[in-house]
Structure 1
Amino acid sequence: MPRYALKVEYHGAPFSGWQRQSEHPSVQGAIEAALGRVEKREHSIAAAGRTDAGVHGLGQVAHCDMEKDWDPFRLSEALNYHLKPAPVAITACARVGEDFHARFSATWRQYLFRLVMRRAPLTHDKGLAWQVPHALDAAAMQAGADRLIGRHDFTTFRSSICQANSPLRTLDRLDVERVEGPSGPEIRFHVKARAFLHNQVRSFVGTLERVGAGAWTPDDVTAALEARARAACGPVCPPHGLYLAGVGYEPDPFDHI
């Protein structure tokens, strides 16, 4: 059966998360339903990451197996037609070998988190960014973020229901960027690793917000990391500022598109 890689963009607000659920809408379920209209049978797809309820996708990657040898562009167009009106879009589609797996072939994953600093309620960015009513010190947050780079036991920064076999992960990038966003001053966190623990990025951001607000110091971040205890983590921020921004592969199946 021909296999295709799909690059997927979605607004996470209407969904219970990526993973298919019997009683709640999911991104996976929406795509599998669209596939069922393109080829009338049961479909099961796999993705690079299972994002939680409210989390968005800019560059999620999934793969599907088809019976027909589809032109990739025509397949993406057909899926986008049948995905309407769900806020899900296939932004790229590529034919891949049968050994390609969206999850297990990935060499890195990158997340973006958006935090807007303003007191007035968000309108255009409501549900797309975490709003805090006070100013934050981006330089202090970066100093705290630097304490997390590298290979560590991240027990403190993973959910108590995380199913990963080990809390050891290597964090390649955690950049804190202050920009003037469309809704006002914004802090953007760019986070990259081969793999993440459940709630790891949201735990990082919630903790670093405390540093930016002056309630914590970068040394407190180090102490929390070394505690290897969930209770030592700062507040976990809400999901709606988080985006799965991209997934890396060698070779990249979308390079030629």
Structure 2
Amino acid sequence: MIRLSLNQKTVNRWSLAEAVEGCARAGIESIGIWREPLAAVGTARGAKLVRDAGLRVSSVCRGGFFTMPEGLARTAAIDDNRRAIDDAALLEAACLVLVVGGLPAGSTDLPSARRRVADALQELAPYARERRVRLALEPMHPVYCADRGVLSTLAQALDLAEQFDPDVVGVAVDTFHVWWDPDLDAALQRAAGRIACFQLADWITPLPADTLHARGMPGDGHIDFRRIRSLVDATGYTGDIEVEIFNLGLWARPGDETVDLVARRFAEHVA
């Protein structure tokens, strides 16, 4: 249980201060921080809140969204990713998660979008190395390929990550996104030394029409969490394990009630 981390999205209505205090009350030692609530207090103030509470930062979410063609929008995206790297450095986070982005508006050119992910890494990796920040490429379920993540499998993410030092570019393994993959076992074996972030959410059916908020709490759906955790552990990963749930019903509940449920489900289905 000491590896349990609360990702802020799971208690989406809480401010950063409230999430930090909620972790402290529950005895959770790690937190995954999102940049929007961090910006509301300022990175320096946020870092102090975390330090004063004695918490680790398991991840900063998120960087990425850099699949657009060359131009002002892409330049702005790369600049924003540099700011995200600065945030992660100040927070002493284990990694910055990269949700790479989907197809640009009006485009059907998936190969080009994926090539631009590789180009962005070439630009950002030296900056991340200088600031001792590890980038974590997050493959996403294929249902999100068009609008959020053109990397759909762990193997695709590894193909890119392996072009860099593992301390600079790794991968994020989110059960919600990878559980379905028939090649997951082999990809996780290949990922030894590359896993920078391990996140949990369940796949529920029927899948809601709003797929962005379609994640369930561990135990609500179809994923064998202990099996995937054992595969991740076998790679040598010993870092924090985040529970990250996008679910409107869960977000409507009182935060402390949600944190208690996270801890119970983690103990029942993961630990």
TM-score normalised over the length of structure 1: 0.28
Which of the pair is proportionally richer in strand?
A: 1
Which of the pair is proportionally richer in helix?
A: 2
TM-score normalised over the length of structure 2: 0.27
Q: Which structure has more RCO (C-alpha within 8 Å, separation ≥ 6)?
A: 1
Q: Which has the larger radius of gyration?
A: 1
